[in-house]
Structure 1
Amino acid sequence: MTDLMPAVHQPVAETWPTLARPRSNPVRRVGALAAIRLIAKDLPATINLDNKSYGLGGPAMRVHRSAAFLDRLGQDAGSGFGEAYLAGDWDPEPGTDLADLLVPFAERFSNEETRHLLPKWAQSLRWLVTRTQPGDQENDRAGARENISRHYDLSNGMFSEFLDPTLTYSAAYFGTADPTAGLGEASYDELNQAQLNKLDAILDAAGVQSGSRVLDIGCGWASLAIRAAQRGAWVTAITIASQQALLAQRRIADAGVSDRVQVALRDYRDQIGEFDAVLSVEMIEAVGERYWPVYFDAIERRLAPGGIAVVQAIVMPHERMLATRNTFTWVQKYIFPGGLIPSVKVIEDITRDHTGLQTEVLRHLGPDYARTLRIWRNRFIDQWPAIADLGFDGTFRRMWEFYLAYSEAGFRTNYLDDVQLRFTRR
């Protein structure tokens, strides 16, 4: 792979108004520098800032614009670090992979003993620089459609450039003892089979066979619906992303299963009917905490007697979910508006208290997701010239590189996990 980015990136102000440098505040700037010094005391990474190095060594980053970098950190603890990368205020040192650099930071959050980066006196001041979620990202029917469209309707062409041929946008299942081994050699060629493994594992867990009535909630570009139809199932696939639905219909036709799959632009709350299997892959993260009980109630209502539901979900430790659920993160601001990652515990609690469903954890795919994300990022960089031709600029590239690397680091350190869950009626 070749790096096409300039040494010091500068975003186009008109295109990226949120990346305008915040007004300088000497107090916050001093506070941000003090926080860096505290964090770096036992951080196995290096922060090169103003001709000084902080940290214990290891993966290294260089701050190009120290004043702007500190201003961003001082203004918004949740988004400042990522925004500084988008703006070109810092980069990994040459030869340092971005995800490898982010891993030491993610480890602090995943390790119970060290997850608080700052001492308690400093943590008590975090409210000064921590944003809360804006009200305009509410996941009612209208808001959910807007939130989903901002991500999944970006460009079918863009997603097609870096996803595997099935256009599956969720964790693959490599079936190896340690999928994170040899990440540097992770190959795009292995991804297609791993995605098919994942689709088959979901269909097997739900008992999908010829004649099964299947509901796919949040169907993406229809890879799971197509795979189910190829088994002889009858599938209703729903999404609220309009451009995604158009391509899903075309892919279903190309696969020769249009007689078995119906794609509908429909909110999960508005679906009717009974199904032998209800499937939903990495859609719950976009539902929003307020609507989690509604989501699982909808799943239960759609299950025929004896039916099985399978949900694949990104999750985080319960205590971390509770601590961060009201904050406004970089991912919510730039990638998934309105999103919130649940925990396995909260899913178990909701299904116990609000439904008649019982929950079974089938498998954990966190390490598999780390490998999936590395392959996606490598492919995204390799295919950047074609993506740029679709009208995306260098700041968009940095945004997606950071998003994919940031997510990979989360799964590599167990700050995030990905689970397949099976639900049956109690």
Structure 2
Amino acid sequence: MVTLAACAAEVRPPAVYPGERLYVEDHLRAIDAEAWPSVATVPQPRFASWRAQRAEAAFAKACAAAELVLEGADADLTVAHDALFHRLAAHGWIGFAESYLAGEWTTPDSAHLVKVLSALIATGYAPNTPDVPRQDVAGGELPPDLVRLYAGDRVSHQGGVYSTGVPTTVRHAIEAHEKRGKTHFVDITTLSEPTAVDREDLADAQVRAAQWLADAAQVGPGTHVLVYPASGVQAAVVSAGRRGVVDLLSADAEALRDVAEYLVFAGATDAVACHIVPQPLPGPKHWRGHYDAIISVEALESFPQADRVRYARMIERLLDGDGTAVIQTTVATESMSPAARGAVRGLQAFIWPGLDYPSTQDVHKLLDKHTGLRAVAQTHTGSHYRESLAQQRSFFAGHLREAAAAGYDPVYRRLWMYQFALREALFASNMLDSVAFSVVHRHRRGRR
């Protein structure tokens, strides 16, 4: 599920921060400054040397508290260039990511990268991190040839549900956020942690996750299903296998072409129709219809706050009165710390400009206050998502040469390893969770 979010912009570096002076060191001259402006240059704010010394001292203190080894054969990370501390002083966690992308600090392998990020966040390391400069958010999805490098032949980056997870369901009464302020019941299902997992299990786990989504959406013979965006292609294939009639929407023509090719390979072209829409949130002029089931995979968290109401109202408009929508998204838990939120800004800067993980309460509030919809069930699969990220990270690490051959430069390859490691660290720390919300029109609540 890679939040990685399906309606994210294509990978892009942040613009140079306003008012900064920059300089280029010798070790950065091989980096494409046009493609990676903030990586190819080192910021030099006022009192740069003094601020870098303070940043170095704070970083050393955090590493000591985290029990990270910085020197010797057993080092958890190695600092190769003092430019790291200038970046930390200027950009905080974003600078930490920039420095990793520049190769200014390294770890022995990707597992150590997860360890470093987990440990620093756990200690509460929170250097001053500026807001990400505003960018226009494109409607692209992740490049399909990139997704293949960590998800195999499938063009979906959806995470998995492993067969060893045992579900437990409890009904909870939660506070409604509509004006009358009543409570309503939600069936909350939690999966136990997967065991004895290896890389070969990922493909089956992705299919199983799609089956869970189709189950929650009550997809069966003749069900008219909307899958949005294209990252939910596995759910589209599963729905087609149940003799549903499926529409799949995307605002990215290139991604949709790859999805169409995969549907041919999966034998689902007769039941799944792919449609291009002009923007990530199609309005009534762009797409109409009434669907018995809607499956939306990893879109909500990637939209800026201003667009989330439009997203929820789009689901409401397209969902039939007796239908069920399933919204799968990554959420922040109560354990999400300021240090973790600072670290996430690195993902905002380089990959998903609108990324902001909601809480489960935020999702209920969004639906209750702005739509006539209501979440009546939610399934938590965070430990399985974490394991999927670990397998995807490992898979990508084994295909770095193929990534280079496909045209992904060293900065891009390090970026993708960094985002896997950071999100895995946040899931391992129980600061993020993956939740699928089953959503119906409010008038149906008494029928469940």
Same topology, TM > 0.5: yes
Tell me if structure 1 keeps the 8 A contact 2:76–2:116: yes
Which of 172, 191, 194 aligns to 2:205? It is 194
Aligned residue number for residue 115 of structure 2: 100
Q: Which amino acid aligns with 1:258?
A: T
How far apart, in 2, do the equivalents of 1:268 and 1:80 lie? 32
The 5 Å alignment of 1:283-298 reads 283-298=299-314
User: What residue ranges of structure 1 are gaps of 5+ in the alignment?
Assistant: 1-7, 52-57, 109-115, 119-125, 138-142
The 5 Å alignment of 1:97-176 reads 97-108=112-123, 116-117=124-125, 129-137=128-136, 143=137, 146=138, 148-149=139-140, 152=142, 154=143, 156-176=144-164
How far apart, in 1, do the equivalents of 2:399 and 2:258 lie? 20
How far apart, in 1, do the equivalents of 2:70 and 2:385 lie? 27
The 5 Å alignment of 1:14-53 reads 14=33, 15-19=35-39, 20-23=41-44, 25-48=48-71
Which of 187, 208, 222 aligns to 2:233? It is 222
How far apart, in 1, do the equivalents of 2:212 and 2:37 lie? 44
Aligned residue number for residue 249 of structure 2: 238
1:268 aligns with 2:281: yes
Secondary structure, in 3 states, of the residue corresponding to 2:259?
helix
Deviation string, structure 1 residues 28-67 (Cα, Å, up to 9, x no partner): 212212322442453232344xx9xxxxxx97211111x2
Deviation string, structure 1 residues 327-349 (Cα, Å, up to 9, x no partner): 98110111223322211111111
Tell me if structure 1 keeps the 8 A contact 2:164–2:195: no
How far apart, in 1, do the equivalents of 2:379 and 2:38 lie? 39
How far apart, in 2, do the equivalents of 1:401 and 1:198 lie? 23
Tell me if structure 2 keeps the 8 A contact 1:235–1:260: yes
Structure 1 residue 392: Cα displacement: 1.5
Tell me if structure 1 keeps the 8 A contact 2:380–2:436: yes
Structure 1 residue 319: Cα displacement: 8.2
Tell me if structure 2 keeps the 8 A contact 1:214–1:236: yes
Q: 1:60 to 1:316 in 2, by over 3 A?
A: same
Tell me if structure 2 keeps the 8 A contact 1:133–1:326: no
User: What residue ranges of structure 2 are gaps of 5+ in the alignment?
Assistant: 1-25, 166-191, 443-448
Aligned residue number for residue 31 of structure 2: 12
Which of 377, 380, 386 aligns to 1:364? It is 380
Q: 1:414 to 1:181 in 2, by over 3 A?
A: same
- TM-score (normalizing by structure 1): 0.82
Higher relative contact order (CA 8 A, sep 6+): 2
How far apart, in 1, do the equivalents of 2:83 and 2:271 lie? 55
Tell me if structure 2 keeps the 8 A contact 1:22–1:72: yes
Secondary structure, in 3 states, of the residue corresponding to 2:321?
strand
Percent identical residues: 24
Aligned residue number for residue 393 of structure 1: 409
Aligned residue number for residue 253 of structure 1: 264
Tell me if structure 1 keeps the 8 A contact 2:158–2:231: no
Task: Tell me how large the CA RMSD over aligned residues is.
Answer: 2.8
Q: 1:321 to 1:233 in 2, by over 3 A?
A: farther
How far apart, in 2, do the equivalents of 1:389 and 1:135 lie? 32
Tell me if structure 2 keeps the 8 A contact 1:277–1:308: yes
Q: Which amino acid aligns with 1:12?
A: I
Secondary structure, in 3 states, of the residue corresponding to 1:207?
coil
Tell me if structure 1 keeps the 8 A contact 2:223–2:245: yes
Deviation string, structure 1 residues 266-292 (Cα, Å, up to 9, x no partner): 243333111000110111122211111
- TM-score (normalizing by structure 2): 0.78
Q: Which amino acid aligns with 1:255?
A: A
Q: Which amino acid aligns with 2:351?
A: I
Structure 1 residue 326: Cα displacement: 10
Tell me if structure 1 keeps the 8 A contact 2:147–2:156: no
